[in-house]
Structure 1
C-alpha cells in the first residue's frame, strides 16, 4: 500500500473517531439538558392554548354582558328596567356602558343624586380610559345643573379635551343660571365661531344668543362697538 493509501486510511479513521465523539457528546448533552427543551416546548404549546382559552372566555363574557344589558333595556316597566340595570356589574372598563345607561335611567326616574353618584364613581376609577372618565364627569356636572362647579367644567373645557365644546356650552349655561351674562355670551360666541361645533350644537348656541338679545349675526358687532370721538 502506498503512502497516499495509508494517509487516506488514517484520515478516514480520524473522521470516524471524531464523528463518534461528536455523537457521544451530543447524546450526553441531550441526556443532561434535553428535558429543558421538553419544558420549553410544553410551555409554548401550553401558553398558546391558554391564550386561546382566555380569548374565548373573554368573548363569551362580553356576549353575556351584552345580552344582559339588552334584556334589561327591553324591560317595558320603568321600575323593573331600573332595577335590572342596577343589578348588573359596573366595575372596571367593561362596566362603563352599563353605568352610563343606569345613570340615564336614574335621571329619567327623578333620582338625580343617584345618577350623579353613579357617574362620579366611573369618573373616579383611574384604570378606566380618560375619555370615558371625562364623559362620566361631564354628565355628572350636567345633572347638577346650576350648582355644577365652574372650575370642574373649565377643566373639561380645556383645549384638546375630548368633550371641550360640550363642556363650554354647559359652563355658559351655569354662568347664565348664576347671573353671569357677559361670561356666558363670550363663551357662546366662541362656540359659534369654532369650526369643530356641529350643526345641532351650533343651533342651540344661536338660539341661546338670540334669547339673550344678541342675534348670532350681530353678536360680534354689538359687543365690539367702540365709540368714535367727534371729528375723526
Structure 2
C-alpha cells in the first residue's frame, strides 16, 4: 500500500469517526429516552400487578369478614359497605349480596343487585348471564310471563353460556301457559342436546312424563 493510499484510509476513517460522534451528539438522547421508557414501563407494570394483587386480597378479606356475620340482614349490610374497586370484583360482590338479600327476605333488593350486574356492559358475559337468570327466577311470581319468556329466549340463543337452563325455564313457561305440546317438544330437544348434563336430562324426562309424554331414547348415553 502506498503512502497516498494509507493517508486516504486514515482520512476516511477520521471522517467516519467524526460523523459517528456528530450523530451521537444529535440523536444520542433518543437511546437514553428509550432506555428510560423501557425501565419505567417495566416498573409501572410491576407496580400495577402489585396494586391489583393487593386490591384483590383486600376485597377477599372484606368479603370473608362480611360473610362471617351471623344474620343474613347483617351480612347484606356488611357486603353493601364493601368497596370492590374493580368491575369483576363488583360483579362477584353483587352476586353474594343478592344471595344474602334473598335470605333476609328482601327479594326486590336482590333483583336490583342482580340487575346491576346484568346491565353492566364491561362485565364478562358469564356474570351477566348468571345475574339475569337468577333475577328472572326471583321474579317468577311478579314479572309477566311474556317478559320472562323474552328474556329467557335471549339467554337461550346458540352459544350462550346458560342456554340449556334457559330452555328448561321456557318449557316451564309453556306449561304454565297451557302450551303442553310446545313444552314437550322443547323438553325432548333438550334431552337430545349433546351438551345437556345428566341431571338436566333427568329433570326434562320427569317433566315429560308428568305431562303425559314418553321421553325419547337418548342419542348417546353419557358416562
* Equivalent-residue separation in structure 2 for 1:134 and 1:82 (angstroms): 22
Larger Cα-atom Rg = 1
**1:139 and 2:134 matched:** yes
**1:27 and 2:26 matched:** no
Matches within 5 A, 1:158-169: 158-169=157-168
Partner of 2:102: 107
Matches within 5 A, 1:22-61: 22-61=16-55
Q: CA deviation at 1:88?
A: 2.1
Runs of 4+ that moved beyond 4 A: none
* Equivalent-residue separation in structure 2 for 1:62 and 1:48 (angstroms): 21
Structure 1 residues without counterparts, runs of 5 or longer: 1-6, 219-232
CA contact (8 A) 2:114 2:131 kept: yes
Q: Deviations over 1:4-44 (max 9, x none)?
A: xxx52222221111111211121122222211211111111
Give the alignment partner of residue 98 of structure 1, picking from 79, 93, 98: 93
Partner of 1:203: 202
CA contact (8 A) 2:152 2:170 kept: yes
Moved more, 49-58 or 63-72: 63-72
Q: Give the SS at the match of 1:145.
A: coil
Moved more, 143-152 or 61-70: 143-152
Partner of 2:173: 174
Q: CA deviation at 1:215?
A: 4.8
CA contact (8 A) 1:145 1:174 kept: no
Structure 2 residues without counterparts, runs of 5 or longer: 218-223
* Equivalent-residue separation in structure 2 for 1:162 and 1:100 (angstroms): 17
Partner of 2:186: 187
Give the alignment partner of residue 118 of structure 1, picking from 110, 113, 122: 113
Q: CA deviation at 1:166?
A: 0.3
Indicate the RMSD between aligned Cα atoms, in angstroms: 2.1
Q: CA deviation at 1:169?
A: 0.9
